[in-house]
Structure 1
Amino acid sequence: MANKKKKSSALDVKESLEAVKFIEKYAIDVWIDLEKLKKFANSIIRFLTENKINQMKKLLNTSFRPKHYPNFTKETVDWLFVFHTLNFSLFYPQGIKQWRAGDKDGFYALSFAIKRAIDNEKPLWDPKYYSKLTLNELEDIFRSDDGETTIPLLNERLTALHQIGNVLLEKYKGTFKNCIKSAEYNSDKLIKLLFDEFEPYRDEAKYRNKTVRLYTKANSLVSDIWACYKKKNRFHLNKENMMSTMFIDYRSPIVLFYFKVLTYGNKRLQKFKNNDQPLKHGDAEELELRACSLLAVNKILKQIEKEWRNKYPEYNRQNILLLIDNYLLMNIAYRFDKYVCDQHPLRYIESVYY
């Protein structure tokens, strides 16, 4: 995690949607099929409108987020900060036994393990506790169901916890709530604060001599923070700048690939098929796959907005984006078997940034 923040000229930096569009423009062997995308967007619309009330409620709640998300208490924001910080690289390459906890894998296993630790009186939301954790203690927190496998990148997770914990204790009186206050309850300011202050949120790379920042982990955290405060109308979410949170479980692009919304060239498909090595953050292939996935969801969002503008004015951009993200997660849960998941390259990523 030695990715130090570098100063760049404003002209050399592309952020969020601008970065995604820039990467997609030059992507090699991966592209968005606009005809298939339109059909997929229409299938989502049909799915929702056939049973509007029930489906809307189902997809707008947290049923496809971890079951172990906490109820909204005074610790919730700090819990979410820890969860999103640790939500990276949760799978091993094909052929290696996967880490499971609570009979789940991926981010569901992560949330189970965190809740299990808290239930066992280990205050994993408190930086005074997790900034002092040892490797053995963290290994016990993330112990697997079978007692044989370990969570991937355990050392990097320990480093991440120490980094964020020390910053909170030194600058924000030991709680992430003070970061939100410092950002004036504004999503854009909070994303910038996360990038500037916390190394695990510094989602930055070089692509064609430009600095690109996708803020994938920060966007997912900010979306959950908004959900905490939305009843109080306290947290200002810039809905124009918000990106999909599909990478909270980075198997979601499998849905786009399966429905041919995303297409990979034969050369790239063969390379992934014959190579068990994980993709690494900042590599051109990783950036292109991620950017095309995010831009595809943005285009689906616009298609649904266009169809719903007059029909359902009560559903704003953020709600529709949440519907799409949860629809992708629902497809992973109910449609795809392990074999299909294993064939997709974004299953295996070596990164602390998402």
Structure 2
Amino acid sequence: MVRSGILPPAESSKFISERAENVKIHEDGLDKLCQEMFSAIKDNKLQIPDTGTDAIHPNKDHPRAVDWVFVVDTLNFCFWSQSKEEQWTVNGHTGYFALEAALHRAIQEGHDITNPEYYSKITEEQLTHILRGDTSAKIPLFKERVSVLHEVGNILIEKYDGTFEKCVKEANKSAIKLLEIVVNNFPCFRDEGVYKNQRVSLYKRAQILVADLWNFFDGTGWGEFNDIDKITMFADYRVPQVLVYFGVISYSDELMDKLSKDNLLVSGSEEEIEIRGCSIHAVELLKLKLSQLIKKSGQNFDVPNSSLIDYYLWCYRRKHAKEMEKIPYHKTLGIFY
């Protein structure tokens, strides 16, 4: 249990998927995607993806590498724009990679962006300069980003000696323990809601923080977690698009009409929770199917955990961006993804 009285993400997603009215999970779509991923496993292509972005973040030997990952994932939310003309870009990068590029540039320019003593008091003018883009387009939810930096910075100073390393040490190589520390102590990571009178959690940013540490440090040192397989996928707005593409999930006509018209879904609304919850449960089912298929094949492949499956699907969307354009994705303004 991560938070008392709230179902953890895997249990939340099962609860949501069993009651969802606007989103359905389909067995044939799961089978299709399972075969696609099994082929990737056989070709040794289902690994932590090489995104070619090493130049826009420090390496794992940087003295503040853990705090770098923490700051990036504190700000890792809501990059979408209504049109390509309004898209925020940094050195040609978009979305999350634009954020990495901006923060890496800040370090190179001498801004102490990994230090909570600095960012707990950062001004709008300072953050505007750090997050400046290639054009006049601005990063969405700018004031919220200032606010979350102040929030987490002050908490790190007050409780954790000014470094996220102390949180990781307290977790003692447990991904679930670190998740618990994060959501219990940093409110801006508390991605929770109420669905059918049940308190549920999705914890996209908190879980991706844990998985990013695991990924960044290659599962060793600061990134060594004995229970990383207990982390679910990261319920954002792009991975569900891939799941729809493969027929793993489908939307009701009413919901699809809203998405096609670019109607915003309110954060915490039933439709939004159903999309994200069903996506998490679909990946849990996919992981089970892959395990069964690998066992049946008699080959000695490792079963990918939910984090690896998520990374694969997220990168699949980027590689096949043109094909994905015909599938609308949900848009929600909020700090949780």
- Does TM-score exceed 0.5, indicating one fold? yes
Q: Give the match for residue 331 of structure 1.
A: 316
Call closer, same or farther: CA 1:145–1:234 in 2, change over 3 Å.
Answer: closer
Matched, 1:85 2:74: yes
Q: Which one of the candidate residues 136, 155, 170 is aligned to 2:158?
A: 170
Match of 1:168, as an amino acid?
L
Q: Give the match for residue 25 of structure 1.
A: 18
Q: Give the match for residue 345 of structure 1.
A: 329
Equivalences, count: 332
Call closer, same or farther: CA 1:96–1:285 in 2, change over 3 Å.
Answer: farther
SS in 2 for 1:263: strand
Identity, % of aligned pairs?
31
- For structure 1, the 5+ residue unaligned runs are 1-7
Residue 245 of structure 2 contacts residue 327 of structure 2 at CA under 8 Å; is this kept in 1? no
Q: Which one of the candidate residues 208, 213, 230 is aligned to 1:241?
A: 230
* The 10-residue stretch of structure 1 (228-237 or 118-127) with the greater mean CA deviation from structure 2: 228-237
SS in 1 for 2:56: coil
Q: Distance in 1 between matches of 2:269 and 2:83?
A: 20
SS in 2 for 1:60: coil
Q: Distance in 2 between matches of 1:324 and 1:162?
A: 33
Q: Deviations over 1:266-315 (max 9, x none)?
A: 111112223x3432321111110011111111111111111223745462
Q: Give the match for residue 296 of structure 1.
A: 282
Q: Distance in 1 between matches of 2:75 and 2:23?
A: 29
Matched, 1:204 2:192: yes
Q: Give the match for residue 248 of structure 2.
A: 261
Q: Distance in 1 between matches of 2:315 and 2:208?
A: 17
Q: Give the match for residue 124 of structure 2.
A: 135
Q: Distance in 1 between matches of 2:16 and 2:325?
A: 25
Residue 64 of structure 1 contacts residue 330 of structure 1 at CA under 8 Å; is this kept in 2? no
TM-score between both structures, scaled by the size of structure 2: 0.90
Q: Give the match for residue 184 of structure 1.
A: 172
Q: Distance in 2 between matches of 1:9 and 1:85?
A: 23
Matched, 1:195 2:178: no
Residue 94 of structure 1 contacts residue 342 of structure 1 at CA under 8 Å; is this kept in 2? no
Call closer, same or farther: CA 1:142–1:9 in 2, change over 3 Å.
Answer: closer
Call closer, same or farther: CA 1:254–1:131 in 2, change over 3 Å.
Answer: same
Q: Give the match for residue 280 of structure 1.
A: 266
Call closer, same or farther: CA 1:234–1:272 in 2, change over 3 Å.
Answer: closer
Deviation at 1:214, TM superposition (A): 1.5
Residue 17 of structure 2 contacts residue 274 of structure 2 at CA under 8 Å; is this kept in 1? yes
Q: Which one of the candidate residues 44, 48, 54 is aligned to 1:60?
A: 48
Q: Which one of the candidate residues 77, 88, 96 is aligned to 1:99?
A: 88
Matched, 1:37 2:24: no
SS in 1 for 2:51: coil
Q: Distance in 1 between matches of 2:328 and 2:210?
A: 27
Call closer, same or farther: CA 1:288–1:39 in 2, change over 3 Å.
Answer: same
Residue 66 of structure 1 contacts residue 111 of structure 1 at CA under 8 Å; is this kept in 2? no
Deviation at 1:316, TM superposition (A): 4.6
Residue 25 of structure 2 contacts residue 249 of structure 2 at CA under 8 Å; is this kept in 1? yes
Deviation at 1:81, TM superposition (A): 0.5
Match of 1:332, as an amino acid?
R
Q: Give the match for residue 147 of structure 2.
A: 159
Match of 1:328, as an amino acid?
L
SS in 2 for 1:315: coil
Deviation at 1:151, TM superposition (A): 0.4
Matched, 1:252 2:252: no
Q: Give the match for residue 203 of structure 2.
A: 215
TM-score between both structures, scaled by the size of structure 1: 0.86
Q: Which one of the candidate residues 67, 70, 80 is aligned to 2:58?
A: 70
Q: Distance in 2 between matches of 1:99 and 1:83?
A: 16
Q: Give the match for residue 112 of structure 1.
A: 101
Q: Distance in 2 between matches of 1:342 and 1:136?
A: 38
Residue 101 of structure 1 contacts residue 110 of structure 1 at CA under 8 Å; is this kept in 2? yes
Q: Distance in 1 between matches of 2:99 and 2:222?
A: 30
Q: Distance in 1 between matches of 2:32 and 2:95?
A: 29
Call closer, same or farther: CA 1:84–1:39 in 2, change over 3 Å.
Answer: same
Q: Distance in 2 between matches of 1:88 and 1:243?
A: 18
